[in-house]
């Protein structure tokens, strides 16, 4: 059905009632010609909002209370005729002193003073819009910080659904935020309930306490240094990839064990040197003295035979020491 503009007739009782409501309304209202954009009527609330006297306001056009940036948008908007009130959304208007402010515009078409016109209600929402913009800027600033930090970060609500994840967390967890956002953390990472993760997260959520722990997500082989903080509607998680540190710690531990084993081996060799080597060596030295002192060649032959046996014993001891050292070193290389 085609929209038919409402006609305001000064002699009509209904029109008189409309005029009284228009003029006495606490909401800023004005009427302008839909073709020339001239103002035809304005109420006291609008005069107060825009800072004009009535004669001044009625001497200008609707384009003069709007920024130049919105002139094209305005001309397109007024082309659509609506008999009923229509929500035209948020606009930027200008007061007499040049100050720009935001208004929410509602309007409908009518016939006023025999001219096709539009009745407009322009509600000042400047403080609300500026507060919302400030909040958006602050949120954008926070997001910039979270995206630039070297820690992985993600947040989730009380249902364990991920509400935000930064790019470092994407990298560490080898996932895409578009795939993870809105998903249940434990379902998206099915093995994440292993170890301390679920237990510590649940404690932070239920007891409203911050927790810190180190754990490995075995599915990725990634160690994380986890800091979990409760927030109003869930948890915020900061974490650092400490996989390389853990590998270095394991290598250092293995190295220390190898050193301890080598020290034990050195103790064994030292004991063998001080006990097993000393006995045949003492025999050899004693027999050499006998050979030197004894002039009896027959006796010396017996002594030389004993000396040979003692030397062989010493040689066997040395060979045993060498073999044991080689076996231990070979075992470590394996």
Cα-flanking dihedrals φ and ψ of residue 12, to 5°?
A: -90, 135
Query: 140 lies in a domain?
Result: no
75 & 38 share domain: yes
Residues 6+ away with beta carbon under 8 Å from 225: 212, 214, 239, 240, 242
What CATH number should be reported for the domain holding residue 290? 1.10.287
> What is d(CA 110, CA 33) in angstroms, rounded to the nearest whole number?
10
The backbone region for 26, taken as left when phi is positive above 0, alpha when psi lies in -120 to 50, beta otherwise, is alpha
CATH number of the domain enclosing 49: 3.30.450.20
> What's the per-residue H, E or C state across 228-243?
EEEECCEEEEEEEECH
What span, in angstroms and rounded, lies between the C-alpha atoms of 26 and 184?
Answer: 49
Domain boundary, last residue among 194, 210, 241: 241
Residue 295 is predicted with a pLDDT of 59
Residue 334: the pLDDT is: 39
Q: Say if residue 19 is in the same domain as residue 104.
A: yes
Based on the fold, state whether residues 84 and 110 are members of the same structural domain.
Answer: yes
Query: Residue 1 falls within a domain, yes or no?
Result: no
> Quick one: 18 and 76 in the same domain?
yes
Q: Where among 91, 125, 159 does a domain terminate?
A: 125
Longest dimension (CA), the chain: 163
Q: Is residue 280 part of a domain?
A: yes
247: in domain: no
Model pLDDT, residue 332:
43
Residue partners of 293: CB distance under 8 A and separation at least 6: none
310 and 217 in one domain?
Answer: no
End-to-end, the C-alpha distance of the chain in Å comes to: 90
Domain count of the chain?
Answer: 3
Distance (Å, rounded) from C-alpha 185 to C-alpha 198? 10
139 inside domain: no
Nearest-CA neighbor of 192 among 184, 207, 182?
A: 184
Q: 290 lies in which domain range?
A: 253-333
Handedness of CA 122, 127, 130, 131 (dihedral sign): negative
The last residue of one of the domains, among 241, 265, 296, is: 241
pLDDT for 113 equals 87
Same domain? 196 vs 121: no
Do residues 172 and 79 share a domain? Answer: no
Q: Is residue 169 part of a domain?
A: yes
Shared-domain flag, residues 71 and 20: yes
pTM summary value: 0.53
Q: Are residues 231 and 258 in the same domain?
A: no
Strand 100-112, strand 6-8: pairing: parallel
pLDDT along the chain (334 residues), means of 10: 47 66 91 94 96 96 90 86 78 95 92 90 94 87 83 94 94 92 94 90 95 91 93 93 83 72 68 62 67 63 71 72 61 41
State the sign of the Cα–Cα–Cα–Cα dihedral 65, 66, 72, 76: negative
Neighbouring-strand partners of residue 316: none
Q: Is residue 269 part of a domain?
A: yes
Question: Are the C-beta atoms of residues 73 and 89 closer than 8 Å to each other?
Answer: no
Listing DSSP states for 165-200 in one string gives E-HHHHHHHT--HHHHTTSBHHHHSGGGGSTTHHHH
d(CA 205, CA 228): 9
Residues 71 and 175 occupy one common structural domain? no
Is 262 in the same domain as 225? no
Which tokens sit at 317? 């001891």
Q: Is 47 a member of any domain?
A: yes
228 and 159 in one domain? Answer: yes
**Measured between alpha carbons, how far is residue 301 from residues 41, 214, 283, 294, 311 in Å?**
144, 75, 16, 11, 15
């Amino acid at each position: 059905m085609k929209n038919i503009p409402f006609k305001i007739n000064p002699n009509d009782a209904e029109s008189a009632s409309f005029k009284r409501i228009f003029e006495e309304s606490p909401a800023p209202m004005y009427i302008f010609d839909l073709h020339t954009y001239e103002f035809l009527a304005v109420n006291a609330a609008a005069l107060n909002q825009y800072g004009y006297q009535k004669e001044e306001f009625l001497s200008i056009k609707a384009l003069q209370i709007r920024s130049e940036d919105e002139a094209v948008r305005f001309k397109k908007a007024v082309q659509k005729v609506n008999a009923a009130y229509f929500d035209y959304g948020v606009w930027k208007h200008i007061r007499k002193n040049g100050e720009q402010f935001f208004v929410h515009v509602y309007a409908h078409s009518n016939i006023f003073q025999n001219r096709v016109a539009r009745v407009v209600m322009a509600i000042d929402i400047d403080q609300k819009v500026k507060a919302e913009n400030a909040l958006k800027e602050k949120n954008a600033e926070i997001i910039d910080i979270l995206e630039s930090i070297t820690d992985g970060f993600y947040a989730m609500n009380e249902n364990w659904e991920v509400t935000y994840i930064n790019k470092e967390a994407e990298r560490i967890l080898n996932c895409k935020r578009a795939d993870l956002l809105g998903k249940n953390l434990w379902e998206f990472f099915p093995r994440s309930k292993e170890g301390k993760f679920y237990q510590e997260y649940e404690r932070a959520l239920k007891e409203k306490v911050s927790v810190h722990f180190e754990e490995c997500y075995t599915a990725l082989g990634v160690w994380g240094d986890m800091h979990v903080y409760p927030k109003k509607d869930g948890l915020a998680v900061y974490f650092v990839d400490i996989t390389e540190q853990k590998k270095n710690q394991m290598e250092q531990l293995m190295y220390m064990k190898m050193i301890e084993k080598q020290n034990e081996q050195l103790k064994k060799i030292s004991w063998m040197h001080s006990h097993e080597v000393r006995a045949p060596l003492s025999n050899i030295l004693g027999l050499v003295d006998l050979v030197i002192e004894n002039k009896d060649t027959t006796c010396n032959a017996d002594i030389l035979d004993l000396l040979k046996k003692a030397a062989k014993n010493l040689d066997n001891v040395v060979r045993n020491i060498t073999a044991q050292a080689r076996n231990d070193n070979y075992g470590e290389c394996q």
